[in-house]
Structure 1
Amino acid sequence: MDTQLTLGPVLFNWTADAWRDFYWRVADEAPVDVVHVGEIVCSKRLPFIAEHLPEALERLTAAGKRVVVSSPILVTTERERQAVRDLLTIGDVTIEANDTGALALLAGRPHAVGPFVNVYNEGTLAWLAGRGAGSVTLPGELPADAIRPLAAAARTLGVAVEVQVFGRLPLAISARCYHARAQGLHKDGCRFVCGEDPDGLSVDTLDGEPFLTVNGTQTLSRRYLSLAGRLDELRTMGVTRFRLSPHSLDMVEVARLFRAVLDGTLAAAEADARLADRIGPAGIADGFFLGKPGAAWVGAAA
């Protein structure tokens, strides 16, 4: 299978104009092969971007990108269940399942499986492949020792394995909205305060140490994952797709850095240094991949 650079869905509550302009620029300038679109964190945000979705699909496709529509992570109401069913009516586009309800609806139809469906062993991978999954994005907390056998099994099954290689890692999802609670608001009257933090709201420990990031109902890592120095290792394992998670920094530049490392025209250590400079105080991490605490940073493999 060919190596592909993919762009995951926007996780944050950006303004409709910012969301539209982001995908327009991705279509025109980003050297990525696959682009995910859709609101997956909070269904209340969807109306803000809904009017731009059809044109985004058309523009990205016209630019030669393969478009995947991602389903929500946590579906709790009938309205949200209907929204997932509506995704299946979109013609000629791959759907990415991010919860088991979507998996049930997609059974027997070619689809992708997102990182929010726990795939920790070869048996689960085989079961998903048998139901129509053509690609599976592994959970971000898996170390190399767990990725390796899954990638080997995927080759036998004819399934593409994808690993997130950039961006804050999703750690948990809840029915409660942390963003609203932080502002003394209820989830049903949140005033969309998550929109004030385009890359999530930083959370400190009681001792004042930077710890995590919240994004509405979602918990993310504080540090930004960077596996630029592990791309060759991942390819050797059999991983064929590498996911970048969008943030408000220049994602076209990020995509170009990863593409250059994949193409062998830029040293991984240089890519990591440039990414760390762009990200600033939040810092970069690769701990989970190495079986260490997730916030740890080791850097490019020798």
Structure 2
Amino acid sequence: MKLTLGPLQYLWPSERWRDFYFEIADEAPVDVVVIGETICSKRLHFMEAELAVVIERLEAAGKEVRLSTLALVTLEREANYQRALALEDVRLIEANDLSALYLLKGRPHAVGPFINVYNAASARVLASNGATTICLPPELPASSVAAIARSCPDLELEVFAFGRMPLAISARCAHARSKGRTKDNCQFVCQEDPDGMTVKTISGQPFLALNGVQTLSHTCQALLECPDEWKVWGVGSLRLSPQTCDMVEVSSTFRRMLNGEIEPGQALVRLRDLYPDIPLSNGFHHGKTGAEWVARLRNAKEATE
């Protein structure tokens, strides 16, 4: 089983962004790192100066680096950015928008979780276009993952195993609006919330999270299944999405679980210690409401009692 670190969804200062990936390169037991701005093109300049040195550090550490496209294209400069990125011929590109699929047609590429792949027919179409790896949307239940895997045995399937789940992208910026600004004059207010801004219901219950133009789940998905189960479902890689917790320890916890060194219940306890302020969830994976925690494993039940 591979571990993939997905692209950072939040806006962090350049130095923090660089140092995070340096730490991942040096210490995290992940196989693949997807890097690049996925959420908002206005953030691109925060990483551009550090991108080359970060890629060099990651590849020197033996990580496979993939480059992510934007998840929403609304401006000509964004379209031009997608076209320029599609010319990359050294590293695999991860398409997170349909416009990128057209640009990558006939070439090997990956498909990220922002492109909805809900059935085997969709996966087969993407494979015929050149996709070699698909990270399935986090809302898919395990039964759907298994059905897609059976129909597409040559595709490497990846599931979103850790992180706040990406739910929607908008052309407008609710994050800026919530702080009395507009998208054009946002002054990068999303940087004030490096793990997303919690949205509450009228009754005061945490419900969602805002990240610039993106809407995320409030809960953090955590899929803690035994390696044999992932094999049965046809999953080849687990995706970990960066949060403000210790991602080196998060990735180490998943690696130890996949290696059989710790049980899923022990991994659950460890993740709750590492990310204590955000509830963990796995409801989508079990065909339930996404924000639920389904403690179907005996040792996981014990860990929650």
TM-score bucket of the superposed structures, by smaller chain: over 0.9
SS at match of 2:163: strand
> 2:114 aligns to what?
116
> 2:301 aligns to what?
none
Provide the C-alpha distance between the structure 2 equivalents of 1:230 and 1:247, rounded to a whole number of angstroms: 23
Provide the C-alpha distance between the structure 2 equivalents of 1:154 and 1:166, rounded to a whole number of angstroms: 24
Provide the C-alpha distance between the structure 2 equivalents of 1:228 and 1:190, rounded to a whole number of angstroms: 38
Q: Does 1:196 align with 2:196?
A: no
> 1:173 aligns to what?
169
Q: Structure 2 residue aligned with 1:92, among 90, 93, 99?
A: 90
C-alpha offsets along residues 112-139 of structure 1, whole Å, 9 cap, x if unaligned?
0111111111111111111110001101
Q: Does 1:208 align with 2:204?
A: yes
Q: Structure 2: which amino acid aligns with 1:233?
A: E
The 3 A distance-change label for structure 1 pair 232 and 224 is: farther
Provide the C-alpha distance between the structure 2 equivalents of 1:269 and 1:172, rounded to a whole number of angstroms: 31
> 1:129 aligns to what?
127
Deviates more, 1:120-129 or 1:26-35: 120-129
Q: Structure 2 residue aligned with 1:59, among 42, 53, 57?
A: 57
Shift of 1:178: 1.2
Figure out how many residues of one structure are paired with residues of the other and give that number. Answer: 298
Q: Structure 2: which amino acid aligns with 1:119?
A: V
The 3 A distance-change label for structure 1 pair 281 and 166 is: same
> 1:71 aligns to what?
69
Provide the C-alpha distance between the structure 2 equivalents of 1:235 and 1:184, rounded to a whole number of angstroms: 49
Provide the C-alpha distance between the structure 2 equivalents of 1:178 and 1:215, rounded to a whole number of angstroms: 9
Provide the C-alpha distance between the structure 1 equivalents of 2:191 and 2:90, rounded to a whole number of angstroms: 32
Shift of 1:56: 1.4
Provide the C-alpha distance between the structure 2 equivalents of 1:159 and 1:75, rounded to a whole number of angstroms: 27
User: 8 Å contact 1:229–1:269 — kept in the other structure?
Assistant: no
> 1:298 aligns to what?
294
> 2:274 aligns to what?
278
User: 8 Å contact 2:169–2:214 — kept in the other structure?
Assistant: yes
Provide the C-alpha distance between the structure 1 equivalents of 2:231 and 2:5, rounded to a whole number of angstroms: 18
Q: Map residues 128-277 of structure 1 onto 2, 5 A cutoff.
A: 128-155=126-153, 158-229=154-225, 231-277=227-273
Shift of 1:54: 1.1
The 3 A distance-change label for structure 1 pair 218 and 230 is: farther
The two structures have a TM-score, normalised by structure 1, of 0.96
SS at match of 2:184: helix
> 1:82 aligns to what?
80
Provide the C-alpha distance between the structure 2 equivalents of 1:299 and 1:53, rounded to a whole number of angstroms: 40
Query: Runs (4+) of structure 1 moved beyond 3 Å?
Result: 229-232
Provide the C-alpha distance between the structure 1 equivalents of 2:169 and 2:226, rounded to a whole number of angstroms: 27
The two structures have a TM-score, normalised by structure 2, of 0.95
Deviates more, 1:142-151 or 1:186-195: 142-151
Q: Map residues 15-26 of structure 1 onto 2, 5 A cutoff.
A: 15-26=13-24
Provide the C-alpha distance between the structure 1 equivalents of 2:294 and 2:33, rounded to a whole number of angstroms: 29
Shift of 1:236: 1.6
> 2:303 aligns to what?
none
Provide the C-alpha distance between the structure 1 equivalents of 2:264 and 2:296, rounded to a whole number of angstroms: 6
Percentage of pairs with the same residue = 50
Shift of 1:300: 5.6
Over the residues paired in the alignment, what is the CA RMSD in angstroms? 1.1
Provide the C-alpha distance between the structure 1 equivalents of 2:3 and 2:201, rounded to a whole number of angstroms: 35
C-alpha offsets along residues 17-56 of structure 1, whole Å, 9 cap, x if unaligned?
0100011111111000000000000000000110111111
C-alpha offsets along residues 125-176 of structure 1, whole Å, 9 cap, x if unaligned?
1111111100011010001121110111221xx1100001000000111011
> 1:287 aligns to what?
283
Provide the C-alpha distance between the structure 1 equivalents of 2:218 and 2:226, rounded to a whole number of angstroms: 20
